[in-house]
Amino acid sequence: MPDIKNTAGLRDILANLPVQNAKAKTGAVTRNSQLTKPPAALGRLEDLAIWYAGWRGDPRPGLENPQVIVFAGNHGVTAQGVSAFPAEVTAQMVANFQGGGAAINQLAQTFGAKMDVHALQLDTPTRDFTTGPALSQDEFSAALNAGWNAVDAGADLLVTGEMGIGNTTSAAAISAALFGGQASDWTGRGTGVDDAGLALKAQVVTAGLAANPDRDPLEILRCLGGRELVAMAGAILRARVAHIPVILDGFICTAAAATLECAQAGALDHCVAGHVSAEAAHGRLLEQLNKDPLLSLGMRLGEGSGAALAIGILKGAVACHSNMASFAEAGVSEG
């Protein structure tokens, strides 16, 4: 396992990321041109299948073992009153995940995904980032490793989700630190705060940015993130090293992932955006990352739910690519 005991080890991994298998991708392009359909008739599904084939190193891949991982963490910044729900809800929802009662459980089961839940020191919230870094270097490394180690090496697709009261505030602060603009440009209603709550959240984000002036992307993740965001970044990075494609979820997941892309251009080439959420800043964040979402359904639940729903789209793309007959096999004239 690569050394991610510190930020230097993380930078070493980012500087030496594997790329797509060119031979497999070329083979997938060739196969796509021979299938019983007019050219480009399946639209974006064709591009998705070719992308997936390149990362799996197989011109005719299967997609049989998707994994959904939900990470949970608590945020000290909730002391500022940024959420409509108390921090206790994080642990309560973890129990719901473990009991199979949440939306993500139903979606994972529907699309044949193995689901794992990792609660990350819920009794020890991160520090309030309006007063300094949310996580120490050791805490940051521990959360990264938790994410890295949670990925099943036998998975052929990864979705990362989260649960953590206060984490839209963290995502907004990360986005503003990475891409600039006013705090209000990135701050949304999250769990459903009213207008006064929204204004307060923007003020808290502004205070967090002032208290943590370092604009190095990995330091932004440490100082303004939470354990679940850091763990998602660790899992997404592990997936890249293992050639496991990733479907990104909503605003919080995308903000965590964006720190990797800003630290190393191309770090998210193995990722597609599952959906664009109703959290207003998510679309702006996807534009910054040049990620065109697969779905737009007004969802804003988190948990990995939008990305899990998109597993069905990617499964459909791969099934058509790998299982359709060619013109020669079907005895159909190519015209």
Catalytic residues: 303
For 62-156, list the strands marked E by DSSP. Answer: 66-72, 114-119
Tell me the two tokens of residue 280: 């207003």
Asked if 251 and 216 count as a contact pair (C-beta separation under 8 A), the reply is no
C-alpha–C-alpha distance, residues 319 and 3, integer Å: 37
* Tally of residues, the chain: 335
Q: Which residues pair with 161 in a beta bridge?
A: 70
Angle at 75 between CA 74 and CA 77, to 5 degrees: 160
Q: Are 219 and 137 in contact (CB under 8 A)?
A: no
Query: Which segments of 219-307 are extended strands (E)?
Result: 246-248, 271-273
Tokens 């196969």, located at residue = 31
Per the DSSP assignment, residues forming a β-bridge with 68 are 115, 159
Contact between 198 and 172 under an 8 Å Cβ cutoff? The reply is no
Residue that the structure tokens 């929204």 belong to: 198
Cross-strand bridge partners of residue 275:
295
Query: Which residues touch 209 (CB under 8 Å, ≥6 apart)?
Result: 173, 176, 177, 183, 224
Tell me, what DSSP letter sits at residue 57? T
Nearest-CA neighbor of 173 among 134, 224, 226?
Answer: 224
Indicate the helix (H) or strand (E) that contains 158: strand 157-163
What secondary structure does DSSP assign to 322-333, as a single string?
A: HHSPBHHHHT--
